[in-house]
Amino acid sequence: MRCESCGQDVPEGVFCTRCGADQDTAGAPMDWRRRRDRYAAHPDEHVAQPGILTTLFPHLDHDEINEFRWALIAGLAVLAALYVAGLITAALMVAAFLVPVLYIIYLYEVRLYRDAPATVLGFTIGAGIVLGVVVTILGNALRGPLPPVDFSPFGVRIDVGGLLVAGLLIPVIQEVLKPLPALLLRDRPEFSETIDGLVFGVAAGLGFAMAQTVVQFSQVLTTLEVRSDPANWLLPLVTAAILLPILHGSSTGAITAAIWRFRTRHRGSLEVGAIVAAVASHVAFVIGSQLIVAAGYGLVLATVWQAVVVAAMLIYVRYLVHDALLDEASNLGFARTTCPNCHRLVTAAGFCPSCGMALTAVRRDISDAREVEADAVGAPR
């Protein structure tokens, strides 16, 4: 059949295997770049759905996503049990390590590092931890000496100096530094796809978040009694376990994915906007939370605000990665492969003709097998 969107002859299917466009449009061909109802990495979801696992763990198939989802739920259940028992120090450690440890398991599960696990983990998780410790300690020292400048709009007393340092200067410095180690992997040919840049940035951001949580709560961890009153600890634990690591992971991942796109000279508004959005979301996360608490609305509303900011950042990351997958998968040649999403054996180029998944967003061992098979059948790549 001839695709109405890209004009190429492709195997018959619901989706064009060349450009990913939906062929079932009742005579109204869809521009493949406007495909938003099916996220290229996980076509069962809309691009604007802020799924944590399907965004930050993009190589997992449907079954593996469920396994990691249950693992995350189990970790949160342990965290809740420790909280109820009043074991706050143990709960803080679980909160700090939960998502980063899951991500290390994910990296090994999908073999994204190929044959250099020490290099990849060192430049992502490891370097993120080191940066997190150093930057957090220096940031805490930077806050201290500044004299407070009180400003009282609407009857609210705000330390403007401290707010600008903690909510603007430090987040900007963090977003500049966090991606640097991951960028050292950018010129390696085996890590050339935008989705690689995303995962490396997420890993670095999660390492940073883990270190930041441990350093920030170091005094609590060393002085708090083993069993203590859990009152007022629930929302800080939610932030430490979920919201803060996802903020750091998604913002750093957005920056590295955008820079990976620059490698192909693709400098569109979405890529430039990703860097701006990463910094803006971090600043909004910190300043918004502090202003809400200073205004007397409490931690509940501040946590809700943090969740909104994180969800918006996740959606932006999905749009960036979705467009990158549509571009990069369109360059693949034909090969026989089993789609990891719908599990059908298909003859496909960049997209599964049955479900529309971008076949560049698959586990590394599956993509390597596809490359070998493509060479064997003489298909172009």
Cα end-to-end span (Å), the chain? 21
Kindly give the parts of the chain with pLDDT less than 70: 24-35, 114, 144-159, 264-267, 330, 364-381
> What's this model's pTM, rounded to 2 decimal places?
0.87
Q: What is the pLDDT of residue 232?
A: 85
Structure tokens at 193: 């796809």
What is 9-64 written as a DSSP string?
B--SSSB-TTT--BS-STT-PPPGGG--SS-SSSTTS-TT---HHHHHSTT--HHH
pLDDT of residue 113: 72
Angle among Cα 226, 232, 237 to the nearest 5 degrees reads 70
- Show me where the domains of the chain are located: 65-283
- Distant-in-sequence contacts of 375-381, Cβ < 8 A, 24+ apart: 377/334, 377/335, 377/336, 379/333, 379/334, 379/335, 380/333, 380/334, 381/332, 381/333
Q: What would the DSSP string read from start to end of 264-323?
A: TT---HHHHHHHHHHHHHHHHHHHHHHHHHHTT-HHHHHHHHHHHHHHHHHHHHHHHHHH
Q: What would the pLDDT profile of 111-123 be if each residue is shown by its tens digit? A: 877 677 788 888 8
Q: Measured between alpha carbons, how far is 327 from 193 in angstroms, rounded to an integer?
A: 10
